[in-house]
């Protein structure tokens, strides 16, 4: 398969154009030629030296990630940027990034993956960001104790053995759950407005403690990395369906 074909297929499935005006990340091909044969595709959450080196060692033609190397443009390729871009060019590994489109996709997205893990039903888009959404909201088929929900997240997500912290200011029994992965705590107000019992995010900010307490909401800080492995794994499954060799580079941060 040609690189341009791979990019086109991903772009169509993820509706990249819908997120162009709201995403700081330029989604799509970030490093590489317009045309290049692709046989092996590596997948990782982050485009960093550690994952790029492994992708090169595994003879990947392209590395597909959630967090790329460009956030609003690169003025100079020095320092950290050079440390990441140089090995891509040296080893002829193209880089494809899908950020917010891979958070909000209803089937392939990170929030969808968390919702699948929890078995949420009656799901709907959540986490408004301009004209798009980046999360999901749904209902547990059977209400559970809020501590049991934390145990499920700890067991099922790649937390590195770290228990999922809970700001347990909401009801003891949880049924309605909202999800925005990664740095999703800014959507706490929307979770409150939609009467969620629990809000699952990757990481929080200091103010979230007080906001959750005052709103009477359970907030689960399930880990930025841990909540954002689902999307790239879903893209890996697509690449395999298209007949490409694939490999996954797991590099958890514990954060």
Does 34 appear as a known binding residue? no
Does 66 appear as a known binding residue? yes
Residue 75: its pLDDT value, please?
Answer: 81
Residue 63: its pLDDT value, please?
Answer: 98
- 3-class state of residue 96 by DSSP: strand
Residue 245: its pLDDT value, please?
Answer: 98
Does 228 appear as a known binding residue? yes
**CA neighbor of 153 nearest in space, from 250, 65, 219:** 219
Whether the predicted model's global pTM rises above the 0.85 cut: yes
Distance CA 143, CA 141 (A): 7
Residue 73: its pLDDT value, please?
Answer: 79
245-254: per-residue pLDDT in tens? Answer: 999 999 999 8
How would you write the pLDDT of the chain (255 residues) with one tens digit per residue? 999 999 999 999 999 999 999 999 999 999 999 899 999 999 999 999 999 999 999 999 999 999 999 998 788 899 999 999 999 999 999 999 999 999 999 999 999 999 999 999 999 999 999 999 999 999 999 999 999 999 999 999 998 889 999 999 999 999 999 999 999 999 999 999 999 999 999 999 999 999 999 999 999 999 999 999 999 999 999 999 999 999 999 999 989
Does 67 appear as a known binding residue? yes
Domains in the chain, please, with CATH? 3-98 (3.40.1390.30), 103-227 (3.40.1390.30)
In the Cβ-directed half-sphere of 138, how many Cα atoms lie within 13 Å?
A: 22
Residue 198: its pLDDT value, please?
Answer: 98
Residue 103: its pLDDT value, please?
Answer: 98
Distance CA 114, CA 107 (A): 11
Contact (CB, 8 A) for 110 and 45:
no
**Sheet containing 28-31: order of strands:** 28-31, 94-97, 62-67, 40-46, 245-248
- 4 exposed, middle or buried (CB, 10 Å; 0-12, 13-18, 19+)? middle
Does 148 appear as a known binding residue? no
Residue 74: its pLDDT value, please?
Answer: 83
């Amino acid at each position: 398969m040609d690189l341009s074909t791979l990019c086109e297929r991903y772009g169509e499935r993820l509706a990249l154009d819908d997120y162009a005006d709201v995403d700081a990340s330029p989604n799509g091909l970030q490093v590489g030629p317009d045309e290049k044969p692709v046989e092996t595709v590596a997948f990782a959450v982050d485009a960093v030296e550690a994952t790029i080196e492994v992708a090169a060692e595994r003879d990947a033609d392209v590395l597909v990630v959630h967090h790329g190397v460009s956030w609003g443009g690169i003025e100079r390729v020095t320092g950290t940027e050079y440390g990441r871009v140089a090995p891509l060019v040296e080893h002829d590994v193209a880089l494809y990034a899908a950020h917010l489109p891979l958070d909000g996709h209803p089937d392939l997205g990170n929030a969808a993956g968390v919702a699948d893990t929890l078995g949420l039903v009656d799901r709907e888009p959540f986490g408004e960001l301009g004209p798009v959404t980046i999360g999901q909201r749904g209902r547990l088929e059977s209400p559970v104790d809020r501590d049991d929900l934390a145990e499920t997240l700890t067991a099922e997500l790649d937390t590195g053995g770290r228990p999922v912290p809970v700001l347990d200011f909401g009801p003891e029994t949880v049924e309605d759950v909202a999800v925005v992965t990664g740095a999703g705590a800014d959507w706490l107000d929307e979770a409150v407005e939609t009467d969620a019992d629990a809000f699952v995010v990757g990481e929080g900010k200091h103010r979230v403690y007080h906001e959750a307490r005052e709103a009477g909401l359970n907030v689960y800080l399930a880990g930025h990395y841990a909540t954002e492995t689902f999307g790239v794994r879903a893209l890996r499954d697509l690449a395999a369906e298209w007949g490409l060799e694939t490999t996954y580079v797991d590099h958890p941060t514990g954060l």
